[in-house]
Amino acid sequence: MDRNDRKYKRILIGKRIARELNDGDWCNLGIGLPTEVANHIPEGTSVFFQTENGMMGVGPAPAEGQEDKDLINAGGGFITALPGACYFDSCISFGIIRGGHLDMTVLGGLQVDERGNLANWMIPGKMVPGMGGAMDLVTGAKKVVVAMEHCDKKGNSKLLKSCTLPLTAKEKVNLIVTDMAVIEIRDNKMYLLEIAEGLTVEEVVKATEPELVIPKEIIYFGI
Amino acid sequence: MDRNDRKYKRILIGKRIARELNDGDWCNLGIGLPTEVANHIPEGTSVFFQTENGMMGVGPAPAEGQEDKDLINAGGGFITALPGACYFDSCISFGIIRGGHLDMTVLGGLQVDERGNLANWMIPGKMVPGMGGAMDLVTGAKKVVVAMEHCDKKGNSKLLKSCTLPLTAKEKVNLIVTDMAVIEIRDNKMYLLEIAEGLTVEEVVKATEPELVIPKEIIYFGI
Amino acid sequence: MPKIIDAKTAAAMIKPNDRVMFGSFLAVGCAETIVDEMVKLGTKDLHLICIASDYDDKGVGKLLSNKQIKSAQVSHLGTNKAIQEQYNNGEIEVEMVPQGTLMERIRAKGAGLGGVLTPTGLGTIVEEGKEILTIDGKEFLLEKPIGAEWAVIKAEKADKMGNLVYSKTARNANPVMATAAEKVIVEVNEIVEIGEINPEDVITPGIFIDYIVKV
Amino acid sequence: MPKIIDAKTAAAMIKPNDRVMFGSFLAVGCAETIVDEMVKLGTKDLHLICIASDYDDKGVGKLLSNKQIKSAQVSHLGTNKAIQEQYNNGEIEVEMVPQGTLMERIRAKGAGLGGVLTPTGLGTIVEEGKEILTIDGKEFLLEKPIGAEWAVIKAEKADKMGNLVYSKTARNANPVMATAAEKVIVEVNEIVEIGEINPEDVITPGIFIDYIVKV
């Protein structure tokens, strides 16, 4: 598959993030790109997915004709319940999220900056979808991973020195996984951990606005 | 029965308070004297009793040998569940109490003063049982009724100008029902509503420390 | 004990300028029959409290499409064109509330709290105009309760005392909203006799319910 | 996924100076087997968080009779002689917390709140040393979260994922305490396979549970 293909990028990012999950982890996946993560959980690893509208133990989408109108995920898509699932109300659901009980949350991003600020919920004068549960998830989860393309459609870095869009949460992002690199945010710095197969460090650095701390040994990730 | 008999007083007070309840009311009865109220609900009136350890729909004590070790009231006594009962955790239980959802709460009292202050949870240097749920009940219920004897063992009025014991809650008592009188508290004044059969207004006034607003027409209550 | 009424009667009780909270998440767990009667009746100038504005032709979105809402507190409106348009035209006033904060604010009202301190929204536009308190060295936003004249909720089943059970993710905000409104109307698929719901399974105790509407 | 351990192992994990919260109401809904093992082991200097101090020979009261508690946050201790004596002798430090406030403070910890504003305790000795905030003209006490190293709770049944159901009034503070401790140990009468509890009936989701002890 072509490295510029959207599907390739989606799998590349989803698969890499799946490796961040440990056996027994409890995790929330945002709408869109982050849902890809669920397709790549390593065999032998049990991970339990929450949907913030009120359920733990999200299973795959139902077969056509098997949809239950009362069983959806936070994106409105039909889902199934795995054995061991449970339902709860929104108050308990956000208690789980805000109380720090989730091991990890994966969200999409419009911008992330080197202090770990995330912007992903509005573009002033344009799109006002609302933050939904995103602000709670980014504030509350033990580990916050952003899944996004490295650059926007115009080729500009979505990794910035300082976010220009309204923030979703302040200094909360731990890890960014893009189609080009895996980057950790620590002490207001971006640490390059891995780069996508087929790329050079120079290409990643060029596509990234803030300074990257480059590791001695380069690790590659692929699909 | 003798008017000075403890059982007589208990029935007198319980029966009178029961008349404060309307069909369909939700109510919490404190430990001790207040529990007597449940024995006098007028026929045709449905009242639902909460126990703050986590249940709505408290029924009478079980027959001997029928006790369920997991089914007690807030005083630790075995109870039964009426049809339509439901169990909930302490957080929901006190949400009901503090959120103003109970129509009435009935509690015992050590002292009540004319501002509606109640003291019923501790005697410094002596008894420190703790407030349990009393502070929440008095603060949260729509109507707060205190059930107590009019005077203490030494014959001193338990209705005071100003409470001397540590308060349970400030300015929350609406009605006091004793073995001598029914007294409403409004605008920092005690209004005499009814007196017990066999007593005179003068006897009630004499047994009461604060000034009582005397009604034009005297109403009597009995058992 | 709650009254059993029809959806039309329920809709007619809600008056202009009333605040109405709906349990619904993208139209799942929404009292659609009551919403439909509200649309027919056309009562205007309502204040809407809901997780999301649902879809233009589904859930609470129908009230927005019919221009019955003058203001709203919601966490998401990305699935609804009507509200986006009305918002951009200044026809509707919208307070965006993070979903978890919305739930806590509604719960605070229902549980008699004067407010809660939350980290969500710190450093974002959500903090604008709000007090920031420092507790043991950490900052929190002071968020105030949200109540309403009406909660219009959806459950799977009610007994005649108003005890409720829900269905799967249709539960969502319905239980918490049942605690926070002056009057609560529940739309259910089934009404059963008292005693037919296991006391262990009740999610919303009947004390919270004023009216039951059977679909 | 929680580990299944025995009561002795559970008791041994709890160390001196640890804060331990027990779900129990006058010994109903108390993890008695674990308490018994704690008494046998005799770990001292514990901080106790509980609704009531139960009875001298039942529930958490056994730890008090055995002088294992150095401080406590409780709402009621009238049924327990040991704690009354130790309190009067100055052997134990006790913070009396109104029961509803105790529940809210524990819930606040579990739900990530920095505190809650409550009217309970205003004008009483409970307000001593606490901040009073005026919100829209009404006064409230600022009450801070209560957390612990351990919650030792009791449920009727667990599946192997830790999803819990309770029995009647033995539910009490157990569900909220399950949310507020670093590690949660649940004692159950029965452990069932994953999938054997109806997802609608789960009261405490398994995410909160670390260890399961079967009686």
ipTM over 0.90: yes
Domain count, chain C: 1
Partners of A50 on chain D (C-beta within 8 Å) are 207
Q: Given D104, D114, D166, which is nearest C135 (Cβ)? A: D114
Catalytic residue among B20, B36, B52, B114: B52
Q: Is residue D15 part of a domain?
A: yes
Q: Given C117, C167, C200, which is nearest D115 (Cβ)? A: C117
Q: How far is B96 from chain C (nearest CA, A)?
A: 7
* Polymer length of chain D: 215
Helix (H) or strand (E) segment spanning residue B189: strand B189-196
Q: Tell me the per-residue pLDDT of C97-151, one tens digit each, with 9 for 90 and over.
A: 999 999 999 999 999 999 999 999 999 999 999 999 999 999 999 999 999 999 9
Distance CA D35, CA D39 (A): 6
Proportion of chain B above pLDDT 90, given as a percent: 91
**For the domain that residue D208 is a member of, what is the CATH number?**
3.40.1080.10
Tokens, residue D117: 């504003």
Cα nearest neighbour of C24 on chain A: A53
Looking up tokens 């005392």 gives: C161
Q: Longest C-alpha distance within chain A, in Å?
A: 53
| Cα separation values, B100 from A217, B177, C152, Å | 64, 22, 19
Query: What is the residue range of D58's domain?
Result: 3-97+146-214
The DSSP call for residue B77 is -
Q: Is residue C128 part of a domain?
A: no
Q: Given D1, D107, D159, which is nearest A24 (Cβ)? A: D1
Would you call B94 an interface residue with chain D, using a CB distance cutoff of 8 Å?
yes
Tokens, residue C198: 């296991």
Which residues have CB under 8 Å from A172's CB, separation 6+? Answer: A116, A117, A118, A138, A139, A144
* pLDDT of B48: 97
* pLDDT of D127: 97
Q: Is residue D115 part of a domain?
A: no
Partners of D54 on chain B (C-beta within 8 Å) are none
Is B52 an active-site residue?
A: yes
Partners of A139 on chain D (C-beta within 8 Å) are 112
Written as one letter, the residue type at C210 is D
Would you call B72 an interface residue with chain C, using a CB distance cutoff of 8 Å?
no
| Under 8 Å between Cβ of D46 and D93 | no
Q: Mean pLDDT of all residues in chain B?
A: 96
DSSP result, A19-43: TTPPTT-EEEE-SSGGGGGGGGPPT
Distance CA D38, CA B136 (A): 32
Distance CA D51, CA D57 (A): 17
Interface contact flag, C100 A168, Cβ < 8 Å: no
Distance CA A116, CA B142 (A): 48
Distance CA D79, CA A107 (A): 51
Q: Is residue D31 part of a domain?
A: yes
| Under 8 Å between Cβ of A164 and A111 | yes
Question: In the predicted model, is pLDDT for residue B126 greater than 90?
Answer: no
Distance CA A121, CA C129 (A): 20
| Cα separation values, B39 from B43, B102, B170, D108, Å | 11, 19, 30, 39
Q: Is residue D172 part of a domain?
A: yes
Residue numbers of chain A with a pLDDT score lower than 70: 1
Of C164, D83, D192, nearest to B84 (Cα)? C164
Q: How far is D121 from chain B (nearest CA, A)?
A: 6
Q: Is residue C63 part of a domain?
A: yes
Domains belonging to chain A, first-starting first, are: 6-221 (3.40.1080.10)
Interface contact flag, C111 B94, Cβ < 8 Å: yes
Of B91, B126, B107, B89, nearest to B33 (Cα)? B107
Q: Mean pLDDT of all residues in chain A?
A: 96
**Geometric angle at alpha carbon A121, from C146 and A113, rounded to 5°:** 125
| Cα separation values, A209 from A121, A151, A174, Å | 21, 10, 18
Q: Is residue D103 part of a domain?
A: no
Distance CA C164, CA C196 (A): 11
Residue A185's CB: how many other CB atoms inside 10 A?
Answer: 25
Looking up tokens 């830790």 gives: D162
Ordered alpha helix ranges (H), chain D = 7-13, 32-41, 61-65, 81-88, 99-110, 174-177
Distance CA A29, CA A108 (A): 9
| Under 8 Å between Cβ of D54 and D26 | yes
Between B90-98 and D99-110, two packed helices, what is the crossing angle to 10 degrees?
120
Looking up tokens 């449905």 gives: B46
Proportion of chain D above pLDDT 70, given as a percent: 100
Distance CA D84, CA C151 (A): 46
* pLDDT of D40: 98
Q: Given B56, B95, B102, which is nearest C110 (Cβ)? A: B95
* pLDDT of C173: 98
pLDDT along chain D (215 residues), means of 10: 97 98 98 98 98 97 98 95 91 96 98 98 97 96 98 98 98 98 98 97 98 96
Q: Residue D186: left (phi > 0), alpha (psi -120 to 50), or beta?
A: beta
| Under 8 Å between Cβ of D59 and D152 | no
Tokens, residue A189: 């710095």
Region C15-42: mean pLDDT is: 98
| Under 8 Å between Cβ of B78 and B72 | yes
Question: In the predicted model, is pLDDT for residue B1 greater than 80?
Answer: no
Partners of A99 on chain D (C-beta within 8 Å) are 109-112, 179-180
Of residues B3 and C182, the one with the higher pLDDT is: C182
Looking up tokens 């999409």 gives: A108
Q: Tell me the per-residue pLDDT of C55-101, one tens digit each, with 9 for 90 and over.
A: 999 999 999 999 999 999 999 999 999 998 998 899 999 999 999 99
* pLDDT of A87: 98
Query: Beta strands C19-22 and C3-5: pairing type?
Result: unpaired
Distance CA A45, CA C56 (A): 41
Of D163, D116, D50, nearest to A81 (Cα)? D163
Distance CA C74, CA C56 (A): 15
Q: How far is D75 from chain B (nearest CA, A)?
A: 5
Interface contact flag, D124 B94, Cβ < 8 Å: no
| Under 8 Å between Cβ of C156 and C189 | yes
Residue B211's CB: how many other CB atoms inside 10 A?
Answer: 11
| Under 8 Å between Cβ of D211 and D186 | yes
Distance CA C21, CA C14 (A): 11
Distance CA A200, CA A117 (A): 26
Would you call B88 an interface residue with chain C, using a CB distance cutoff of 8 Å?
yes
Q: Is residue C133 part of a domain?
A: no
Which residues have CB under 8 Å from B156's CB, separation 6+? Answer: none
Q: Taking the complete model, does pTM exceed 0.90, yes or no?
A: yes
